[in-house]
Structure 1
Amino acid sequence: MSRFKKVSIISIILLFAILSGALIGSVAWIVNETPDISNYGRWKPSESTTIYSEDNKLLSRLYQENRVYAPIDRMPQNLQNAIVAIEDNRFYEHYGVDPWAIGRALWVDIKGGGIIQGGSTLTQQLAKNALLTHERTLYRKIQEAYLAIQFERMYTKEEILEFYLNEIYLGHSVYGVQTAAEFYFDKDVENLTLPEAALLAGLPKAPNKYSPYKNKQKAKVRRNLVLEQMKKYGYITESQAEKAKNQPIKTENGLERKEDKAPYFVRHIRKKLIDMYGAQAVYNSGLKVYTTLDYEMQTKAEETVKEAFKDYIPSVNKKEGKGRLQPQIALTTINPQNGHIKTMIGGRGEEEDRYNRVTQAYRQPGSAFKPFVYTAAVEQGYSPASVIDDTPEAYQVGSSSEDKWIPQNYNDEYLGPTTLRIGLAKSINVMAVKLLDKVGIDNTIEVAKKMGIKNIVETGAKNDKNLALALGGLTKGVTPLEMASSYGVLANEGVRVEPISLLKVVDNRGNVIYENDSNKKIVLDKDVTYIVNDMLESVLARGPIVWGTGWRANLGRPAAGKTGTTSNYTDAWFVGYTPDLVTSIWIGEDAPSKMKYKIKNEEKLLSANENEAKPNTNTISSAETARLWSEYMRKIIKNKPVTEFSTTDNIVSKKICIESSKLPSKDCPENTIREEIFIKGTEPTEECELHQPTTEVKVDTSTGKLATDYCPPEKVRTYTYQQETHIKVDENGVPIKKVDEETKVPLRDDEGNYIYERMPEEKCEAHRPDSLQDKIKNQTDKIKEKFEEFFDISN
């Protein structure tokens, strides 16, 4: 052998050794970089967190990969066979890598001039999907093959198939066959039929292409191919295959099922979960979350709100505010006995709207705050029959004597001495301010706080310690959830229950890791709440004795509540309740402005009395919220038993004079006598002294003096005066005060006592007998003629 040949052979051997070493080294390095799967079976892939309503309806899934893990024993055999038949028919024969499949795929690729078919086994697909990237490189293929062999070495075929069926992507952000069964067929995986199993088995090749939501025809062709493969490999008979092929594709839910039910509530829950466990756990660890929401009630709430904005509440598009559509709305219902939040609508539902007005919007409550004032009064011994004088009053609000505040009633109308029941039912501003002044601002704030109002400002240059508190003029405001919870104290006989939305959290192993109990505390006496409930029922009354501002909310069964419209119509409220449910509704623009809108059609909307047509604009007020409240509540209480507000043995009833709050006297007019309720010890024991024997007197209105027989009849009016005091009284026998003509504030003397209108003491002398008057008229006419003649001559 020549020297050249020897050198060549040695060079070739060295080159082969170097290349082999490099190849072995490269493979060893790749293998070393490959993930360890020795513990793969001990943990599950990323699972979505599922959120359920109280009645076990799925509300939403939170996930990075939308997956619910299912064990192999829950998967029907037809599904397992379908996957094997279409994806890897030699699955039970190979050891992770199938040379026959690789050779077949290589031949197809060579003929096609590119990568057309892959030779990956089902085990290799598992390795790729679970642990590797999807890039087509030699490096990744070596890792994939190595991992497949390791899977086959460490796990059984049944375990590998379970891993694969839970790992695969099946379109529309759905991972795993359990989630896919729910998404496409609204059922658990164990209940899949043969055609349904075949359809799911056909998806992994091209999930979006073969999705029945994208193209039913292509989905059917792919499904039938799977059935053919199952028949070919002996998993089903020819008759079974033909029968399944003839089945139409029925999807029980559309793509809209991806959307959250009760989206504002779901985001409320999501925030709580992330605060408790962190985002990584919430989106990956497969928690099961059980909430307080009532799915049926939520659906009815959403339907009612949608109908209202279509029917009688106008909408506009604005750039200002958290949401584009205005006005916005917040609605929430709670169970006052356990604090469970049953419904939550935090806005108009725009996709980009993430501002939950139920929990985040602090708005002025207006007259919806008045029940706190009245509750404080009842705690101090006031009754529904207690009388407040509904006449204007000036209050000092600054250091200067001219710094006065004079609260006004709606339409600038005043009722005089009026009971608390009527004052609350009619939402009379002046009475509420006067009552607050008597009860005390600090006492009222304390009642509001213990009932659940949390953001009253008590310190600083601008605070809530002023009489405007009675009218809901708060520095920060309240949320609709606060209002619902606070009114819930009244519905729940004085027991305060913190509102809750989260009931239980279960991990993916079935362990309960969080359970929520209602936090209860007695804050009001039962007698007090019964009295206030009874007064607030009058708000919903519609005559003949009382016609409340919330009459549109009348349900025809025991219910109570309060309207609230802020100044300039920037906020409209109705917070109402039955003994079982409390619902708070707020309507307003995010950037507060008057809710006055032009009506699009030419029809005139009728006002409350249905006789007077409104102008061609629509101003939103508590009338609309009360109507909406009634429409919604009627739906959710339908077919539910009627329940009464619980009374106690400490409640008594008495006939009283509503003008004086005392027992009727013989002089009290019949229309001032009412049956009223009291807490024992607060009922009146003395007779009315306000009403006294009266007499009717005719007065000449042109002179203000007692009329005579000679006064013209058109100038004469008959007025009623007390016989003893000569004080003028109204039709109910109530003394009439003199008032300032400009402010309508009653006048007082130097000692602070009211000045009353009294009967005139002198008779009219301006009008005399006709004969004398005729003489006077004749003389006057003659003088007039002489003057006219004189002026004519002068000219």
Structure 2
Amino acid sequence: MSQNDSKNTRVRRNQNKYKKSKVGKIIKRTILGILALISLGVIAGSGVFAYYASSAPKITYNSLSSDNSTKIYDNSNHIISRLGAQNRDYVKSDQIPNKLKNAVVSIEDRRFYKHHGVDPIRILGATLSNLNASSGLQGGSTLTQQLVKLSVFSTAASDRTIKRKSQEAWLALQIERKYSKQKILEFYINKVYMGNNVYGMQTASEYYYGKTLNKLTLAQTAVLAGMPQSPKFNNPYIYPKLAKDRRNQVLQAMAESNTITEAQSQKAQKENIKNGLISSNHTQNDLTDVKEKYVDSYLNQVIQELKARGYNPQAGLTVHTNLDLSAQKKLYNLANNDPQVGFPNDTMQVGATLINPKTGAVNAMIGSRKTDITFGLNRAVQTDRSSGSTAKPLMDYGPALEYLNYPTYQTVHDTPYTYPGTNTQLKDFDYRYQGAITMHKALVESRNIPAIRTLQNVGIDNGTRFLASLGMKFKDPLNLQNGIGLYISPQQEAAAYGAFANNGVYHKPYLINKVVTSDNVSHNISSNGVQAMSPSTAFMMNSMLKGVMNLPYGSGTAAKVPGLIEAGKTGTTQYPEGTYQGYLPSYAVMDSWFAGYTTNYSLAIWTGYDHQFQTGNYMTAQQTEIAQKIYKYEMEYISRNKTNEDWVQPNDVSSVKSNGSTEYYKNGYQSIQTDSTSPSSSRSTTSTNNK
């Protein structure tokens, strides 16, 4: 090697040493920087945690145990119900079978006996699980944290904040310091929600299997242990397949935790999911301390609304509702005990909702009659029955006023009509045609053909858009026939008609106006108004719907309250023509509705039979007036001390005399328009006749 080569080699070595030294310094600085950032993050995080923890609510034995209750008040601040521990069977730790404890721990928190309330390893596992959804790992909250959530906080998405998580972790640490693992398990097993308004696993054992926890099989124990994850979808009555899958997950988790053998797990997994279940029709334990049945439907919906908003109804809440107890009791008595109404038997049913149109507050609700089942089917919120002609203001004439600027005296045609593209001919209740008449007259008499011709002019898209502005959205696309029948609930209908009463402003209905959680935090609830239609549209609709009750040829005269300024609409649905000939008379009616309102209240009522195709389960023409009579006597009662105000004519609406009556038009649209749909006279079959 030459002298120059040796020199060059030394230079390269020195350069490499320099580069390595420089890279090493950069790496060292980077690591130190990262460690510094982590340290700062830990310090900052600790500071935030300490700050939030310092304001955490107190957690007491009463809030952890099932002895606390949720109190529900009416709109006059009178307590109407307590949902709480007095209605459940509390079971002490030494009475809880080890197999249930093992099942709960295995599926909910396998490291329960190793952590001190918060489990960093579990949190890391949950994070990895989110990256690999098929791994089946558990969530990040320990059983103790879940107990805190059930006892103090709501499960609402709005409460999933850093503050709440910090306080939840802090309280979990405090609980672990104060109580033994067995006591914490006892609290949890007695507090969890188990579906069907049942709380606590001992009560659930009696409810689902008719026996105490220590008499359950391993498979039945696993069913209960798995239910709190999703009480609705893990319900073995309603979703047996999902309940079986969850049960088997519990059994497999127990085998993996070595609390049972793999053979025991496989044997229990083969057991029929419905093995040992008692009849699903048994009477449920009354979960309230109120014995008056007239509040059941309302309370049922309050509970559903609490859950929908993320609150645990058992978490020691104070719930203020919009319930007018006097109006509720009157509505209940009309449906159950008042001979003036004239129900023909105890089988015929009812669903009704009373709303304040100015706010959306639900003041009263009845979901059934002549039943002993607590919190049973609430027909006031069911959407499986056609609303008949009460759909006409909502889908046909309301959009025509709003989008086409029809005057109330718009000419419409009551002439033979066949649905486009079919052989189905539409008929009216009297099987007659009146030719060219006004929209006002067609609505008052509830004639079908002019309504459907109007909807054709409006267009399905506009009709659907108008309904959506009134809080009604549908899974399947609507069609022309929906113009004389929508599948909506009495609650939806009362709120929609309330927009007519409230100058076109729609409020989503709500039952709860304030919730105070056990940590004394108040959450106020209201419904923001939406301008669903112009005030002129609402006023002109009111002027027409007054005639339904006031004019001698109106379809709703039986609902009229003497002297009261009100408006409303009837609705009936007939059985499909020709389908049930032989055992149904020609006058048989399947459903009867009435929706009416004043400036103060909106009330919608459905009447009919649950099993409308069973022999004898139909209504006569006279019985269709039962819904109107309920409206009349209820509205008369609740309007006694209220102002009797008329709707004020907007500045952009003018009036004109026509055939002795006052008609209205929006300024600039006085000339009488004609409906553009040409009459159809095809020979064909006929469709349902609604009134």
TM-score (norm 1): 0.48
Q: Which one of 500, 505, 517 corresponds to residue 507 of structure 1?
A: 517
Given that residues 382 and 488 in structure 2 are in contact (C-alpha distance below 8 angstroms), is that contact kept between their aligned partners in structure 1?
A: no
Residue 554 of structure 1 corresponds to which residue in structure 2? 560
Given that residues 327 and 595 in structure 1 are in contact (C-alpha distance below 8 angstroms), is that contact kept between their aligned partners in structure 2?
A: no
Return the alpha-carbon distance in structure 2 between the equivalents of residues 442 and 739 of structure 1: 23
Q: Which one of 379, 399, 405 corresponds to residue 357 of structure 1?
A: 379
| Cα separation, partners in 2 of 1:286 and 1:673, compared to 1, 3 Å | closer
Given that residues 409 and 672 in structure 2 are in contact (C-alpha distance below 8 angstroms), is that contact kept between their aligned partners in structure 1?
A: no
1:257 shift after superposition? 4.6
| Cα separation, partners in 2 of 1:507 and 1:542, compared to 1, 3 Å | same
1:306 shift after superposition? 2.0
Given that residues 60 and 261 in structure 1 are in contact (C-alpha distance below 8 angstroms), is that contact kept between their aligned partners in structure 2?
A: no
| Cα separation, partners in 2 of 1:306 and 1:43, compared to 1, 3 Å | closer
Residue 242 of structure 1 corresponds to which residue in structure 2? none
Whether 2:527 is the aligned partner of 1:518: answer yes
Return the alpha-carbon distance in structure 2 between the equivalents of residues 339 and 311 of structure 1: 27
1:394 shift after superposition? 2.8
Whether 2:380 is the aligned partner of 1:367: answer no
Residue 470 of structure 1 corresponds to which residue in structure 2? 483
Residue 51 of structure 1 corresponds to which residue in structure 2? 72
Whether 2:599 is the aligned partner of 1:576: answer no
Q: Which one of 671, 677, 686 corresponds to residue 684 of structure 1?
A: 671
Residue 641 of structure 1 corresponds to which residue in structure 2? 643
1:303 shift after superposition? 1.7
Q: Which one of 403, 407, 419 corresponds to residue 383 of structure 1?
A: 407
Return the alpha-carbon distance in structure 2 between the equivalents of residues 443 and 41 of structure 1: 58
Residue 262 of structure 1 corresponds to which residue in structure 2? 295
Residue 542 of structure 1 corresponds to which residue in structure 2? 551
Return the alpha-carbon distance in structure 2 between the equivalents of residues 420 and 507 of structure 1: 52
1:682 shift after superposition? 1.2
| Cα separation, partners in 2 of 1:619 and 1:488, compared to 1, 3 Å | same
Q: Which amino acid aligns with 1:343?
A: A
1:357 shift after superposition? 1.0
Deviations along 1:124-173, one digit per CA (max 9) or x if unpaired, are xxxxxxxxxxxxxxxxxxxxxxxxxxxxxxxxxxxxxxxxxxxxxxxxxx
Deviations along 1:57-99, one digit per CA (max 9) or x if unpaired, are 22211011379xxxxxxxxxxxxxxxxxxxxxxxxxxxxxxxx
Given that residues 322 and 513 in structure 2 are in contact (C-alpha distance below 8 angstroms), is that contact kept between their aligned partners in structure 1?
A: yes
Return the alpha-carbon distance in structure 2 between the equivalents of residues 368 and 261 of structure 1: 27
Q: Which amino acid aligns with 2:649?
A: T
Return the alpha-carbon distance in structure 2 between the equivalents of residues 429 and 42 of structure 1: 61
1:621 shift after superposition? 5.0
Residue 357 of structure 2 corresponds to which residue in structure 1? 336
Q: Which amino acid aligns with 2:397?
A: Y
Q: Which amino acid aligns with 2:601?
A: L
Residue 271 of structure 1 corresponds to which residue in structure 2? 304
Q: Which amino acid aligns with 1:425?
A: V
Given that residues 387 and 572 in structure 2 are in contact (C-alpha distance below 8 angstroms), is that contact kept between their aligned partners in structure 1?
A: yes
Q: Which one of 517, 534, 539 corresponds to residue 530 of structure 1?
A: 539
Q: Which amino acid aligns with 1:369?
A: A
Q: Map of 1:665-744 to 2, 5 A cutoff?
A: 672=659, 674-684=661-671
Identity over the aligned pairs, expressed in percent?
Answer: 28
Residue 610 of structure 2 corresponds to which residue in structure 1? 590
Given that residues 57 and 295 in structure 1 are in contact (C-alpha distance below 8 angstroms), is that contact kept between their aligned partners in structure 2?
A: no
1:593 shift after superposition? 3.2
1:641 shift after superposition? 1.9
1:511 shift after superposition? 3.2
Tell me the SS of whatever aligns to 1:49. strand
Q: Which one of 559, 567, 570 corresponds to residue 563 of structure 1?
A: 570
Q: Which amino acid aligns with 1:364?
A: S
Whether 2:467 is the aligned partner of 1:448: answer yes
Return the alpha-carbon distance in structure 2 between the equivalents of residues 384 and 564 of structure 1: 20
| Cα separation, partners in 2 of 1:653 and 1:53, compared to 1, 3 Å | same
| Cα separation, partners in 2 of 1:523 and 1:278, compared to 1, 3 Å | closer
| Cα separation, partners in 2 of 1:502 and 1:256, compared to 1, 3 Å | closer
Given that residues 425 and 685 in structure 2 are in contact (C-alpha distance below 8 angstroms), is that contact kept between their aligned partners in structure 1?
A: no
CA RMSD of aligned residues (A): 3.3
1:741 shift after superposition? 11
Tell me the SS of whatever aligns to 1:290. strand
More moved, 285-294 vs 417-426: 285-294
Return the alpha-carbon distance in structure 2 between the equivalents of residues 295 and 329 of structure 1: 19
Return the alpha-carbon distance in structure 2 between the equivalents of residues 375 and 42 of structure 1: 54
5+ long unaligned stretches in structure 2: 1-58, 89-287, 576-588, 687-691
Residue 416 of structure 2 corresponds to which residue in structure 1? 392
| Cα separation, partners in 2 of 1:535 and 1:594, compared to 1, 3 Å | farther
| Cα separation, partners in 2 of 1:521 and 1:741, compared to 1, 3 Å | closer
Q: Map of 1:162-311 to 2, 5 A cutoff?
A: 257-259=290-292, 262-276=295-309, 279=312, 282-283=313-314, 285-308=315-338
Tell me the SS of whatever aligns to 1:331. strand
1:739 shift after superposition? 11
Residue 102 of structure 2 corresponds to which residue in structure 1? none
Tell me the SS of whatever aligns to 1:396. coil
| Cα separation, partners in 2 of 1:271 and 1:677, compared to 1, 3 Å | closer
1:272 shift after superposition? 2.9
| Cα separation, partners in 2 of 1:621 and 1:434, compared to 1, 3 Å | farther
Given that residues 575 and 582 in structure 1 are in contact (C-alpha distance below 8 angstroms), is that contact kept between their aligned partners in structure 2?
A: yes
Deviations along 1:324-373, one digit per CA (max 9) or x if unpaired, are xx221001100011100000111115222511111134210111100021
1:525 shift after superposition? 0.5
Return the alpha-carbon distance in structure 2 between the equivalents of residues 558 and 65 of structure 1: 47
Q: Which amino acid aligns with 2:391?
A: F
| Cα separation, partners in 2 of 1:415 and 1:264, compared to 1, 3 Å | same
Return the alpha-carbon distance in structure 1 between the equivalents of residues 511 and 560 of structure 2: 28
5+ long unaligned stretches in structure 1: 1-38, 68-254, 317-325, 398-402, 459-463, 599-616, 657-671, 689-736, 746-795
Return the alpha-carbon distance in structure 2 between the equivalents of residues 327 and 264 of structure 1: 17
| Cα separation, partners in 2 of 1:738 and 1:339, compared to 1, 3 Å | closer
Return the alpha-carbon distance in structure 1 between the equivalents of residues 603 and 60 of structure 2: 50
1:557 shift after superposition? 1.9
Residue 436 of structure 1 corresponds to which residue in structure 2? 455
Given that residues 346 and 357 in structure 1 are in contact (C-alpha distance below 8 angstroms), is that contact kept between their aligned partners in structure 2?
A: yes
Residue 155 of structure 2 corresponds to which residue in structure 1? none
Tell me the SS of whatever aligns to 2:611. coil
Tell me the SS of whatever aligns to 1:263. helix
| Cα separation, partners in 2 of 1:40 and 1:680, compared to 1, 3 Å | closer
Residue 206 of structure 2 corresponds to which residue in structure 1? none
Return the alpha-carbon distance in structure 1 between the equivalents of residues 679 and 546 of structure 2: 35
Bigger relative CO (Cα 8 Å, ≥ 6 apart): 2
Return the alpha-carbon distance in structure 2 between the equivalents of residues 685 and 374 of structure 1: 16
| Cα separation, partners in 2 of 1:471 and 1:456, compared to 1, 3 Å | farther
Return the alpha-carbon distance in structure 1 between the equivalents of residues 382 and 566 of structure 2: 27
Tell me the SS of whatever aligns to 1:289. strand
1:274 shift after superposition? 3.9
1:619 shift after superposition? 4.9
1:311 shift after superposition? 5.1
Return the alpha-carbon distance in structure 1 between the equivalents of residues 61 and 467 of structure 2: 57
Q: Map of 1:55-204 to 2, 5 A cutoff?
A: 55-65=76-86
